Chains A and B, each alone.
Chain A
Amino acid sequence: MNLKRILAISIVCYIFVLFFFQVDFTAALEAQSKINTLVEKVKIPNTVTAVYLRSRVYDTLFEVIVFSVGVLGVTIMLKAEPRSELSEQTIFGTAQVYSSGIMAISVTIFLYVVLNGHISPGGGFAGGVILASSVVLYGVSSSFIKALSHYEKLRMKILENIALVIILSLMTMGLSFPNFTFGLNEAQSYGSILSGGVIPLINLLIGLKVYAGAWKMASEFVVRRGTL
């Protein structure tokens, strides 16, 4: 047993010491020309979004599908597992007040991050995670049953599915007709929200999708393992 540990430590040390002395830093990357092309072709300020949703949208298509498969996988795999009791939940008054407040603020932040994703740092994935984490925080610190019920009440499942279909079809359109920009952004000035054309819409839908999926996953875990 001990021998195995020593062997493991020495191998890993050997590998990473070699890394340290072999990594070659001589690269001199010039990002200017790439940024010029991106701004010229997509006409939005945030070039990361331009890469993410335009020039490498093929990767993003896979990413959306990986996320959906992950969520459904977690849900379906855990379907047959026993549930734990949810009724007894320890609640602290302060936490309840603050977590409700944080949830209210996070909806605003979600909309800001998502709709401004092509102007300032942000985007669909970040926005969705912000909203989902605040709802999870509310659920584990205040009332999990109440948090659970909003998924049914708002019909998040249908919303999520519609979002997935629209995202996939918009991305396929973008891949099939690269020069087709839906004509939304021609009259707008550089840097306004509508100048992104279809990008804010895709960001919003990805945000909704990620929020619904992340909350679904987290709630499945909490339902199986119990709250505090």
Chain B
Amino acid sequence: MISDMVIYTSLIGAFLGTLGMLLTSNLIKKILALGIVETSVTLFFTAISSKGGTRAPIIPSLPIENVHFADPIPQAVIITSIVIGFAILSLLLTFTIMLHNRYHTVDIDLIEGMLEGEEE
């Protein structure tokens, strides 16, 4: 069934994003990997709402036909999570710009090395 396939795909996406966050030392790439995880979770919720049916939950005319509509609630709530993800990603990029202005690198190992040497 299609929604099961989509759930597996979204889990693979989350898997790849998590791996990406761990394996790169570039801050920008870490943020992009986080974006992949967030998008995968969005896809996961879309898949959940298609469990009951795949017809878009828009009723053009009354009375309502008896076809398998998708569930509207997961789709509606995930908009909120997209906006929150958007806010977090933009704040992360802001802080990356500020870090780059101070340390002239986006490599986390170098930044952490410099910070450990720094006294207040």
Contacts and interface: CB of A to CB of B under 8 A. Distances in A.
Interface of A: 5, 8-9, 12-13, 15-16, 19-20, 23, 25, 27-32, 34-36, 38-39, 45-52, 56, 59-60, 62-63, 66-67, 69-70, 73-74, 77-78, 81-82, 119-121, 123, 125, 190-191, 217, 220-221, 224-225
B91 A70 contact: yes
B22 A8 contact: yes
Residue from the set A20, A29, A69 with the largest chain B CB neighbour count within 10 Å:
A29
B18 A12 contact: yes
Interface of B: 4, 7-8, 11-12, 14-15, 18-19, 22-23, 49, 51-53, 56-62, 64, 66, 68-73, 75-77, 79-80, 82-84, 86-88, 90-91, 93-95, 97-98, 101
A129 to B, nearest CB: 9
B59 A225 contact: no
Contacts of A50: 72
Chain A interface main SS type: helix
Given A5-B22, A69-B87, 4 more contacts: A47-B72, A56-B77, A63-B84, A66-B87
A8 to B, nearest CB: 4
Contacts of A32: 52, 64, 66, 69
A20 B3 CA distance: 14
Main secondary structure of the interface of B (DSSP, over half): helix
A19 B91 CA distance: 30
A63 B86 CA distance: 11
A74 B94 contact: yes
Contacts of A20: 8, 11
B64 A35 contact: yes
Contacts of B18: 12, 15-16
A77 B95 contact: yes
A34 B84 CA distance: 26
Contacts of A35: 57, 59, 64, 69, 72
Contacts of A119: 58
B83 A125 contact: yes
Contacts of A221: 93-94, 97
A60 B82 CA distance: 12
A63 B83 CA distance: 7
A29 B71 contact: yes
B101 A121 contact: no
Given A52-B79, A191-B60, A38 B11 contact: no
B94 A73 contact: yes
B83 A67 contact: yes
Contacts of A19: 11
Contacts of A217: 90
A19 B83 CA distance: 26
A59 B101 contact: no
B61 A191 contact: yes
Contact of B62 (A23, A38, A190, A224): A190
11 contacts: A12-B22, A13-B15, A20-B11, A35-B57, A62-B80, A63-B79, A67-B86, A70-B88, A70-B90, A73-B94, A125-B79
Nearest to B12: A16
